[in-house]
Every structure is written in structure tokens, then in C-alpha cells.
Amino acid sequence: MEALKDTILELITETSTNLSPDVRAAIRKAKQQEDAGTRAALALSTITDNIAMAEENVSPICQDTGMPTFKIKVPVGVNQLEMTKAIKAAVVEATKTGKLRPNSVDSLTGENSGDNLGEGVPVIHYEQWDKDEIDIRLILKGGGCENKNIQYSLPCELEGLGRAGRDLDGIRKCILHSVYQAQGQGCSAGFIGVGIGGDRTTGYELAKKQLFRKVNDTNPNPELAKLEDYIMENANKLSIGTMGFGGNTTLLGCKIGSMHRIPASFYVSVAYNCWAFRRQGVTVDPATGKIKEWLYKDEQPAPQVTVNEPEQLKKNFDTREVVLTPPITEEQVRDLKVGDVVILNGLIHTGRDALHKYLMDHNSPVDLNGGVIYHCGPVMLKDKDGNWEVKAAGPTTSIREEPYQADIIKKFGIRAVIGKGGMGAKTLQGLKEYGAVYLNAIGGAAQYYANCITGVEGVDFMEFGVPEAMWHLRVKNFAAIVTMDAHGNSLHKDVEKSSLDKLAQFKAPVFS
Ligand SMILES: O=C(O)C[C@H](O)C(=O)O
Ligand code: SF4
């Protein structure tokens, strides 16, 4: 099987950079159904452009290439030890070439291994089957959507929906609630895999396994097929929309599986996947290790997408546009309101979990007064001259910084925070008190934003690892939407409230 390492490397590259046709079609449909001129339409246009750019650049669709998870079926006699060696070698190579972000972090020390290997990483599940070929499936599921997975233990009380019992209607309520609780934080519009039954572990495994089904397949269990149809007809009535901006499409797919459980437990487990639904598979010849067939590629190529120039994008949307260059003044910030599109030109600094924790008790290596913090963990490579190159640079989920953000804004005089998914009441109060804004970039649009970065002017805290370091980036035409302003307004708060009101319309039983 000497070709196996190259096969796995090709599979990883394809999964990370080229969204499969069934997922693209779902996103295309959402884009066609979105009301023109809305923020959700802007987000879907940017996402569509980003998908095309990733394919063209053979570079990660999203900077977070997730926890590489392989599900493998092997004929009797195949050497799994050899396979694991080849998989790990391919993962290291894919990381070196910028197709994967180094994502393997020691949970106790915080140290990033740098090559995507570590205890339990990558995840590799083997099972034997009676066919004489190897079936290898890979999913790259990022942390932001993984954090929106949820597991319900029935019976339970659900906000907006009331009691969820140990029956199909209780399951219905859990699934609707799982879409509501994700809001836009897991980069909606999303896909969900649902596992009914099992224990805490196997329930979640069943949920994630559903994500390997094709977007347009039909559930072989008629009762579950009916429930999937119901969810797809109704979840979008929550109007959470793309990125949680409000809008017509919140859910792009729902796949449900069921297994036996023990009498005391009744779990409903939901694996929430973002629009960057990256899963691919191949069948492989056990003798050579070569690819026989791709499993999620259609014959006809996806329709060509013309990548909108920022100018073109701006023309489609009648929102106020404000061009800003850091350092930004308090007056400029207080002039902004929710819905404005801010175009940034100049120096911004990345910072996420490790940096925010550090800055609470330490000084910043750079002057952040009037500055912009970008919640982002980029994919970075050094070019032949040893200069850093940004390969992918979309936003991470901002809510994780909620415990720190207001204090950091006050301490350093920061004027704008860029991220996705919004922040909470403490930050909203801080924006008002200290004069700052929250700018929602389009989650997952890693190529789109990498394209706006004209230079890397340095980096601090490399000891935090590439994703968590403080990168000093020069940007041009970096567009993001004001979704929390310095006057106490928050689009996220409004959408959460309106979607909760809408959720309540599904309280009455549907499935007896
Ligand atoms: O880790 C990241 O860069 C993004 C993450 O997947 C997130 O959605 O927050
Ligand atoms: S940033 Fe968004 S698109 Fe990327 S992995 Fe996280 S949830 Fe998915």
C-alpha cells in the first residue's frame, strides 16, 4: 500500500479546499432564496465567493480545519498499523503545506504540537467489512460548530417549547431547540446530524455519523424521514439566518439516526456542522493504496461562480459604508450604528483565547490604543524568503472572549473588535461605556479575508502556537458589519429574542 500516504494527502487536501457538490448546491439554493440587499444575502455572497477562491487557490475554505476525523472500513487482513502510520504522515504533510491548520493542543499545557499530531489526534475509527476494498471517509469539523453540538436527556424542559417527553414529539422539540441555541455562532446556515438513543458517547457518535450521509438522500426509516422533512420545513421559520444576521435560511440539512438505549437513559444528541461542511471520502485498492473512486464528487462540475469584487458586493447592498483606518477615534466609533458596513484599511492585530487571558494580567507588546483586535487564528506559512504568508484568515467565535472583552477594551483603549457570532451583555455595556464597536466578519470566509491582508508586520506570543499568537496584519478593504454598536444596540440580542418568540410557535404537539 505504498501509495496510501499520497492518497490520504489528496483526500485531506480535497476535503479542506473543495466543498463537495451536494453542499455547494445547498448553499447555492440558500443564496437564491435569500432576500436581496440583506445582510444574510451579503454573507451568502461572500461565502460563495470564498468557496470558489478556496478551490482556485487549493487553500483551506475555513482557517479552522478542525479535528481531522477518519472513519475507515477495511477488508479482513488489512494492516491497520500501517494505515495509521500513513495517515499520520499525510496529516503532518498537509499541515506543512498549509492545507491543515496546526490544531493539536495539549489540553494541560496549552502547547500546540505544530504538526496536528497528539494524544488521540487525528481521530481514526476502523471497522471491518466484507468488501474487498477500503472505504475512507474524512470530516474536518471546526471547533466553533463543534462547540454548538448539544445533547438532551429526555424528559426535559426547553425554553420556548416547554416539556419535551420521551417520544417522537419530544425529539422534535429537542432538534428545533438545537438549531435555536446555535444562533449564528456555529456559522449558520448549518447542517445537523442527530443521534437518538445510545449512551452519552455512542449517541454523539451516531449524530456525527449522520454527517457522512449525502445532503439529498432519503432516510430509510420512514418515521425519521418524516421527522427530517418536518425539521427542514420548520427550522428556517426561526429566521436566525446566515451568520445569525436574520434571514430565510438557518438550516441546510438535517439527518437523523436512531439506536437502542437502556431504560434509564433517553438521549437526543445533535452534531451541529457549519456551512463549511467539509467531508469527503474515497474507496481505495487494498493492494496499491490507490484511489478507486471519490464518494462525494458528482460527475458534473459545480457551476462556475464569478468571484464578486468588493466593489460589486458593495453595489448590491444599500447599507451605509464607513472607511476607517486605525487608530480609530471615539468620535468615529460613536458615529457608527448597527447595520453599517465598516471597511478597514491599516494595521489590525489577531487575538483569541490565549491572548485575551494573557492581556488581563499583562501589558500588550503593541500599542492598542484606538486599535482593532481580530478574533482570528490564521493558517500561516513561511515563503521561500522566510516571510510569513497568510493562507486563510476568517474569524473565530467571539463569545468565548466574553469573560475578558470589556475589561480588555477598557484597559487598552481598543476601539473595534472583529469576530463572528456576536458577544454578550457585559461586552455590549463595555462598548457603550468605553466607546467601541463589534464588527461581525463572515465566519468561514477564510480566503476572502486572507485576500484582504496585504502584509504580516510581525507576530508576538508564538509560544501560544500559530492559531493563538498575536499576528500584526496590514489589511486593505477588510469589510465587516457593525452588529453591536456603542449605543447599546445588538443585532445578536434582537435575533435571539425574535427567534425565541418564533420557537414558541412550535410548542404544541405535532407527532402523537
Ligand atoms: O478556530 C477557529 O479559527 C474558528 C472556530 O472554528 C470557530 O468557529 O470559532
Ligand atoms: S469558523 Fe465557522 S466555518 Fe470555520 S470551522 Fe468555525 S464554525 Fe465552521
ipTM of the complex: 0.99
Ligand 2 atom closest to the Cα of residue 446 is 4
Ligand 1 atom closest to the Cα of residue 145 is 8
Confidence at 319, pLDDT banded by 50, 70, 90:
confident
| CA 509 to centroid of ligand 2, rounded, Å | 34
| CA 165 to centroid of ligand 2, rounded, Å | 32
pLDDT for residue 315 is more than 70: no
- pLDDT attached to residue 282: 98
Mean of the per-residue pLDDT values of the chain: 96
- In tens, the pLDDT along 243-289 reads 999 999 999 999 999 999 999 999 999 999 999 999 999 999 999 99
Can the peptide bond before residue 303 be classed as cis, meaning omega within 30 degrees of 0? no
Confidence at 12, pLDDT banded by 50, 70, 90:
very high
HSE-CB for 499 with a 13 A CA cutoff: 30
Atom 8 in ligand 1: residue holding the nearest Cα: 144
Atom 1 in ligand 1: residue holding the nearest Cα: 64
Confidence at 446, pLDDT banded by 50, 70, 90:
very high
Atom 5 in ligand 2: residue holding the nearest Cα: 142
pLDDT for residue 375 is more than 80: yes
- In tens, the pLDDT along 296-310 reads 997 555 555 555 555
Can the peptide bond before residue 122 be classed as cis, meaning omega within 30 degrees of 0? yes
pLDDT for residue 407 is more than 90: yes
Which residues pair with residue 296 across a beta bridge? none
| CA 286 to centroid of ligand 1, rounded, Å | 36
| CA 378 to centroid of ligand 2, rounded, Å | 12
HSE-CB for 266 with a 13 A CA cutoff: 13
- pLDDT attached to residue 475: 98
Q: Where does residue 264 rank: exposed (0-12), middle (13-18), buried (19+ CB within 10 A)?
A: exposed
Q: Per the structure block, which three cell numbers stand in for 162?
A: 416547554
Return the axis-axis angle of helices 4-17 and 80-96, rounded to nearest 10°.
50
- pLDDT attached to residue 2: 82
- Residue-wise burial string across 348-368, b where 16 or more C-beta atoms lie within 10 A, e elsewhere: bbbbbbbbbbbbeeeebeeeb
Ligand 1 atom closest to the Cα of residue 274 is 8
Could you identify the residue written with the cell 496546526? 102
Atom 5 in ligand 1: residue holding the nearest Cα: 144
Rounded mean pLDDT, 331-339: 98
Measured at the CA of 42, the angle between CA 38 and CA 48, to 5 degrees, comes to 140
List pocket residues of ligand 2, CB cut-off 6 Å.
62, 64, 142, 144-145, 186-187, 274, 276, 394, 443-444
Confidence at 1, pLDDT banded by 50, 70, 90:
confident
- Beta strand pairing status for 341-350 and 150-153? unpaired
Nearest to 461 by CA among 378, 365, 353: 365
Give percent of the chain with pLDDT exceeding 90: 95
List pocket residues of ligand 1, CB cut-off 6 Å.
63-64, 142-144, 187, 377, 396-397
Ligand nearest, relative to CA of residue 398: 1
Task: Please tell me the distance from the alpha carbon of residue 370 to that of residue 353, in angstroms, as a whole number.
Answer: 21
Atom 3 in ligand 2: residue holding the nearest Cα: 444
The structural domains of the chain, ordered by start, are 1-141+285-314 (no CATH), 143-273 (no CATH), 321-492 (3.20.130.10)
pLDDT for residue 4 is more than 70: yes
- pLDDT attached to residue 298: 77
Ligand 1 atom closest to the Cα of residue 186 is 8
Confidence at 486, pLDDT banded by 50, 70, 90:
very high
| CA 256 to centroid of ligand 2, rounded, Å | 22
Rounded mean pLDDT, 381-390: 96
pLDDT for residue 84 is more than 90: yes
| CA 473 to centroid of ligand 1, rounded, Å | 18
DSSP structure class, residue 487? T
- pLDDT attached to residue 512: 79
| CA 463 to centroid of ligand 1, rounded, Å | 19
Ligand nearest, relative to CA of residue 60: 2
Coil, helix or strand at residue 262: coil
Task: Please tell me the distance from the alpha carbon of residue 11 to that of residue 17, in angstroms, as a whole number.
Answer: 10
pLDDT for residue 317 is more than 60: no
In testing the pocket of ligand 2, which one of 16, 63, 64, 399 has its CB within 8 Å of the most ligand atoms? 64
Ligand 1 atom closest to the Cα of residue 394 is 3
In testing the pocket of ligand 2, which one of 145, 278, 400, 420 has its CB within 8 Å of the most ligand atoms? 145
